[in-house]
Structure 1
């Protein structure tokens, strides 16, 4: 049996490892001994045998070998046993019935020890996977520490979970789109994740690398996703904080959430909403000239004036953006000039006016949602 196992299963062929050769021999001898006991005394020693093979299954998982190798070795043993039985049955004058009974006992025995080994293998895999997941979550916590954790501690834990600390990372904030909808996404192994915390999050390595931009699109369709800016690993907490702020704005309808929100594309919006009390004061002061207009007229003038500031004061571009005639734009701009006067000539005033108008437009979008 041992010879055929070593010839037929490459994982068990270690002729130079005496300790391992002895371990294989002990496993085979124990299996044969217990089979003889079982045949002689129906059911005897079953508990001990199953424990032995559960332990063998756990050992295979710990060695990192596939379960297929162990199962192949067990089948080889059964085949060799049956072959020997067939050869010896005539010499021993065994009846056909007796041969069939022993053959059936071999098959039942094979099923029992294979099931016990598979059970031990699965238990070990669950334990190893659980320990690995705990370490990965601990690594995520270290990376998110504010102030940053000691780089040596991060490096040691990263090596323990076989995670390479990248040059840049991005924090990713998540929220399920609807209760009970967000399933467990299939994520690449280099993405650290904790979806069970109150505020689910990910760590995305090398977010600006080839193909990384669309990495989360398909796997997180059931989630609202906000991706923080790319930063060095020790600044990950800041990246995730911005991602969470963007996620909060998406929930309010300020930012669209049908696709992953990239904070790098919305930095001015994040700045505007960082201190909303201050922005409300800015709006009240800078947009006071619009106060006496009718709501519809106020909206038209504000929309046209914001487009004019964003288009470099080009009325034709404003007309194309708003889908109106250039003469309409010029008429509205004359009204705006009458309302704001010299404040449209000062760069500082124009800058603050654009902030106020952008804040107004974003707040209006959120209210419409």
Structure 2
């Protein structure tokens, strides 16, 4: 259908109706409207509201307007109908804003058309108009009601699209607020942003980054609209409710959704700390080969937080290693490697005894004792210092990740 003020009405069946029909219809509009409204309220549950309610008044007004327009078209088929078009598009917007559906709207139009067709035929018979006009009269009713129904649906769909656009903008704003590190500047509470975005804040969220997926639509079975997504450069950043723990999705669902792409899932955190989850993911992806994660798969960062933490400060870790393990650097490579391995086993043991170290390394206890004496001499008795042991363990782990 075109705009009702255009070709639809110009080509319509009103040319075949006597212009006098309009003057016959006008005095009967209120009575026929009452019959139409009663039938609509009886047959369409969505419209069973009191007539003195806003919905009841809109219903009566729209039914009367439709009949006045029908009379106008009978009298002047070529007349402009823009004022009626605006009304019925507005009616569609109101229906959407009040939570009703296009199904109910179109059902109401059909019921009105049925009642109108019957009552208009009665007017023609009472006025002794030629019986030949019954068919074009019926056709005019159907054409008219179809045109009005289409305009109302257009208004409904436009309002729906506008609302969905506002929700999407609010969701992008919420995602940006979640992923932005607080800088001390007061910002709108997350709860208010989430309410506008129609996205109830979960207890915990996790960040997912999918490499080279910006602009793509991320879907996950069972989640529907429960993910927030933003493009950051070439990557797609997704905020989703905590996977697992009986939630709407699990880690395997995420793994399936990103299959074939390099991606990382951050640790679950409180919503206000979502940016921390993203930082962890970024670090993991920047060093994903150092963590042993293959390309084209999902890296679960929560299982590797210690590694990610060390890799994130790797440049500082190298300075720490130079300072804490510098005594090993002047030794021949083979000996330095054996002593570093022995130091690591010592630091990881409970009792820091030679038998424990020997068992961990698969060497003779006497060999372990010899190496431990060498280490004690190299580090000038600092093996008993808790601060040195902590620094040395961090340095050994950093060097191991670097290799």
For Structure 1 versus Structure 2, the TM-score category normalised by the shorter chain is 0.7 to 0.9
Q: Is the Cα contact below 8 Å between 1:148 and 1:235 reproduced in 2?
A: no
Q: Is the Cα contact below 8 Å between 1:142 and 1:149 reproduced in 2?
A: no
Q: CA-to-partner distance for each residue in 1:270-293, whole Å, 9 max, x for gaps?
A: 122122223335566477488645
What SS is found at the alignment partner of 1:229?
coil
Q: CA-to-partner distance for each residue in 1:194-225, whole Å, 9 max, x for gaps?
A: 42344643333455641343353444446544
Distance 2:113 2:342 in 1: 85
Asked if 1:247 corresponds to 2:268, the answer is no
Of 159, 167, 189 in structure 1, the residue corresponding to residue 195 of structure 2 is: 159
Distance 1:130 1:255 in 2: 38
Q: CA-to-partner distance for each residue in 1:93-115, whole Å, 9 max, x for gaps?
A: 4334x322222222222232222
Q: Is the Cα contact below 8 Å between 1:170 and 1:204 reproduced in 2?
A: yes
Asked if 1:342 corresponds to 2:375, the answer is yes
Asked if 1:131 corresponds to 2:176, the answer is no
Asked if 1:141 corresponds to 2:176, the answer is yes
Task: Tell me the residue number matched to 2:237.
Answer: 201
Asked if 1:228 corresponds to 2:266, the answer is yes
Distance 1:252 1:87 in 2: 86
Can you give the 5+ residue segments of structure 2 that lack an aligned partner in the other structure? 1-35, 351-355
Q: CA-to-partner distance for each residue in 1:49-84, whole Å, 9 max, x for gaps?
A: 222211111111111211111111111112222333
Task: Tell me the residue number matched to 1:185.
Answer: 219
Taking the TM superposition and a 5 Å limit, the aligned residue runs for 1:38-57 are 38-57=73-92
Task: Tell me the residue number matched to 2:115.
Answer: 80
Asked if 1:7 corresponds to 2:45, the answer is no
Taking the TM superposition and a 5 Å limit, the aligned residue runs for 1:1-369 are 1-15=36-50, 17-87=52-122, 90-91=125-126, 92-96=128-132, 98-143=133-178, 144-147=180-183, 153-166=189-202, 168-177=203-212, 182-185=216-219, 187-191=223-227, 193-198=228-233, 200-207=236-243, 209-211=245-247, 212-214=249-251, 216-221=254-259, 224-250=262-288, 254-256=292-294, 258-281=296-319, 285=325, 288=329, 292=333, 330=363, 341-342=374-375, 346=383, 355=394, 358-359=397-398, 362-364=401-403
Q: CA-to-partner distance for each residue in 1:158-207, whole Å, 9 max, x for gaps?
A: 334444444x4334142334677x3343554443x242344643333455
Distance 1:81 1:65 in 2: 24
Q: CA-to-partner distance for each residue in 1:288-327, whole Å, 9 max, x for gaps?
A: 488645xxxx8x9999998998899688998xxxxxxxxx
Distance 1:358 1:226 in 2: 22
Q: CA-to-partner distance for each residue in 1:4-27, whole Å, 9 max, x for gaps?
A: 111111111112644332211110
Q: Is the Cα contact below 8 Å between 2:205 and 2:240 reproduced in 1?
A: yes
Q: Is the Cα contact below 8 Å between 1:34 and 1:49 reproduced in 2?
A: yes
* Structure with larger Rg: 2
Tell me how far 1:122 sits from its aligned partner: 1.4
Can you give the 5+ residue segments of structure 1 that lack an aligned partner in the other structure? 319-328, 365-369
Q: Could you state the TM-score of these two structures normalised by the residue count of structure 2?
A: 0.68
Distance 2:213 2:342 in 1: 37
Q: Is the Cα contact below 8 Å between 1:135 and 1:161 reproduced in 2?
A: yes
Q: Is the Cα contact below 8 Å between 2:170 and 2:197 reproduced in 1?
A: yes
Pairwise CA RMSD = 4.2
| Count of residues paired in the alignment | 346
Distance 1:255 1:311 in 2: 28
